[in-house]
Amino acid sequence: MHRLLVFSALILLAGPNHLNGWGEPMHHAITTAALDSLPAWQQDYLKAIREVFIRRYVLIPDIAGLPENRAELGRFTVLPNGDQFTHLPYERPHNIYQMRYYFEKTLESWRSGQVDEGARYAGCLLHFLEDSGSPSHTFPMDNQLTLLKDFLETPPAFRDRPLHGLVENGTAQIALRGYRPRLLGTGSEEALGNLVERLNVEVRNARAQLIPILEGVFHGSDSAMESGRARAGVVDAQVAADALYTLLSMAQNRFDPEQRKQLETCDVSSLTPLEAIHQSYFPQFAFFSDPYFGYPTRDGILEKGEEKRPLILNVMKDGHIVREVFEHGLGLGTHARVTYALSPNVYDRFECLVGLHAELGVAGKVAYRIYVDGEAVFHSGVILGGDPAQKVSLDVYGKSELSMETESRNDKKGANYVVIAAPVLHKAQTAPKQGLTY
């Protein structure tokens, strides 16, 4: 907490032109694109406050500290625990705490008919989401991007200059071109959990634009800079649209049946592992595994660490072992651990199949464990190549973390090609009403 308070103080001292993410034109463009993608009934709900929402409320975290705005807007940038609003993804608990506060306050206001008040809280939520997708805010622990100068050939004119503002200050055309906002949940906890995952997606997308934008800066190419900002801004607008769409759907208790049905299950392999988040936001954290180094491979497995191959398991059907190809899952080796955050009281069951790859793992010999909130709840025993996959079905209701770990039982290296196939969370159908506290 001490680090967070110091960090927040540095942001306040730096002033609005240094560390506060996208500039005003980009916030306007991103928010406008998000609003334009909403269905007609939601646009009608926000129609009366649309312009003030775009021009003022989404900028509250940037302007609340100005003398002329403190009395009116100052309360919106102080969290209940006393922390100041932060403009970039920080430690995961703080990110969730901050998003939870603004999400729930927006929902509370809109459910009680306070459209303008809710829009102010929604503006702060969108500001955080949009700033988190600003490329300048996504390089781990280096807000002025100084380390990038060691990786890029930097012209003399830029060697001593902070790069943050050069990356984010500017304009870009943002168009979602028929994007249909996603319903993130029908309850607050579910929606917040999925919004965190959308945050992970936009952060990694924004990071991919850093070098192209900087190359444009170094070579004086306006088109390169604008294209990179647009690629980041489009995903920012999509995430902002998802948040608004979900909030308004929940506030009015009006859900699209198809999207509601899609939320009944969650493909775990589509989520960002906590290990990858630690790697992304903080110093090195990696998987070291056999038969290849690196993260578990999504929806495939790497033969010799090079060629992506389909996920294939031996499965038992009608008393016979047959080979089955799986579209979704993880391919990994042994001495690997992958962890996912769960939304408590949203899902009640986790299921998957686990075994050695039917072709690559014939000579494998492994064991597999699952931990829920740090407690071992499943152990496969020794699995040999050729064994049928084991089916896992576990109660996870009320739990907040799921870890899967593979262990070698082999005397030789190079054959432990483990497959975790069809890992799915099932939404609880009779859960208590989901709510949030902060």
Closest to 407 measured CA to CA, from 332, 334, 321, 306: 334
What pLDDT, on the 0 to 100 scale, is given for residue 365?
Answer: 97
Contact call for residues 183 and 260 (beta carbons, < 8 A): yes
- How far apart (Å, rounded) are the C-alpha atoms in residues 98 and 96? 5
With respect to residue 417, please indicate whether it lies within any of the assigned structural domains. Answer: yes
Half-sphere exposure at residue 12, Cβ-oriented, CA atoms within 13 angstroms? 15
Tell me, yes or no, whether 246 and 348 share the same domain: no
pLDDT at residue number 280: 57
Domain identity same for 336 and 421? yes
Three-state DSSP string of the chain: CHHHHHHHHHHHHHCCCCCCCCCHHHHHHHHHHHHHCCCHHHHHHHHHHHHHHHHCHHHHHHHCCCCCCHHHHHHHHECCCCCECCCCCCCHHHHHHHHHHHHHHHHHHHHCCCHHHHHHHHHHHHHHHHHHCCHHHCCCCCCCCHHHHHCCCCCHHHCCCCCHHHHHCCCCCCCCCCCCCCCCCCCHHHHHHHHHHHHHHHHHHHHCCHHHHHHHHHHCCHHHHHHHHHHHHHHHHHHHHHHHHHHHHHHCCCCCHHHHHHCCEEEHHHCCCHHHHHHHHCCCCCCCCECCCCCCEECCEEECCCEEECEEEEEEECCEEEEEEECCEEEECECEEEEEECCCCCEEEEEEEEEEECCCCCCCEEEEEEEECCEEEEECCCEECCCCCEEEEEECCCCCEEEEEEEECCCCCCCCCEEEEEEEEEECCCCCCCCCCC
Does the residue 268 lie in any domain?
A: no
pLDDT exceeds cutoff 60 at 35: yes
Kindly list the distances between the CA atom of residue 378 and the CA atoms of 264, 287, 365, in Å, as whole numbers in the listed order: 24, 21, 18
Task: Return the pLDDT at 92.
Answer: 81
> 206, 233, 263: which is the final residue of a domain?
263
Domain boundary among 201, 232, 263: 263
201 confidence band (pLDDT: 50, 70, 90): very high
Closest CA to 340 of 407, 416, 264, 424: 424
Q: How confident is the model at residue 11 (pLDDT cuts 50, 70, 90)?
A: very low
* Residue 432, in any domain of the structure: no
Give the range of the structural domain holding residue 289, as residue numbers without chain letter. 278-427
pLDDT attached to residue 221: 97
pLDDT band at 289 (very low <50, low <70, confident <90, very high): confident
Alpha carbon distance 246, 197 (integer Å): 14
If asked whether residues 88 and 235 sit together in one domain, one would say yes
Between residues 72 and 292, which one has the greater pLDDT?
72
- Residue 346 placed within a domain: yes
Q: Tell me the one-letter amino acid at 398.
A: G
Do 363 and 389 lie in a common domain? yes
Together in a domain, 250 and 313: no
Q: What is the CATH number of the domain that holds 351?
A: 2.60.120.1060
Residue 16 confidence (pLDDT): 35
Alpha-carbon distance values, 253 to 96, 119, 187 (Å): 24, 18, 10
- Here the tokens at position 65 are 């500290």
Provide mean pLDDT across the span 183-188: 97
**The model's pTM:** 0.90
Q: 276: helix, coil or strand?
A: helix
199 and 298 inside one domain: no
Residues in the chain: 438
273 within domain boundaries: no
Q: What is the pLDDT of residue 287?
A: 53
Query: How many structural domains comprise the chain?
Result: 2
Examine the domain organization and report whether 58 and 166 are in the same domain: yes
Q: Are residues 422 and 341 in the same domain?
A: yes
Q: Is residue 438 part of a domain?
A: no
The model's confidence at residue 339, banded by pLDDT at 50, 70 and 90, is very high
Asked if residue 163 has pLDDT above 70, the reply is: yes
Query: Does 129 map to a domain?
Result: yes
Mind listing the pLDDT tens digit for each residue in 322-336?
999 999 999 999 988
Asked if residue 56 and residue 193 are part of one domain, the reply reads yes
20: confidence class by pLDDT, cuts 50, 70, 90: low
Q: Which of 211, 235, 263 is the last residue before a domain boundary?
A: 263
For residues 59 and 200, membership in a common domain is answered with yes
Residue 246 lies in a domain: yes
User: Is the model's pLDDT at 290 over the cut of 80?
Assistant: yes
Express as a percent the part of the chain with pLDDT over 70: 91
* Segment among 234-238, 263-267, 293-297, 363-367 with least mean pLDDT: 293-297
CATH number at residue 237: 1.10.575
Question: What digits encode the pLDDT tens for the residues 381-410?
Answer: 999 999 999 999 999 999 999 999 999 999
Q: Are residues 243 and 292 in the same domain?
A: no
pLDDT digits (tens, 9 = 90+) for 132-154: 999 999 987 788 899 999 999 99
Q: Given a cut of 80, is residue 304 above it in pLDDT? A: yes
Do 227 and 149 have their domain in common? yes
Q: Rounded to a whole number, what is the distance in angstroms from the first to the last CA of the chain? A: 16
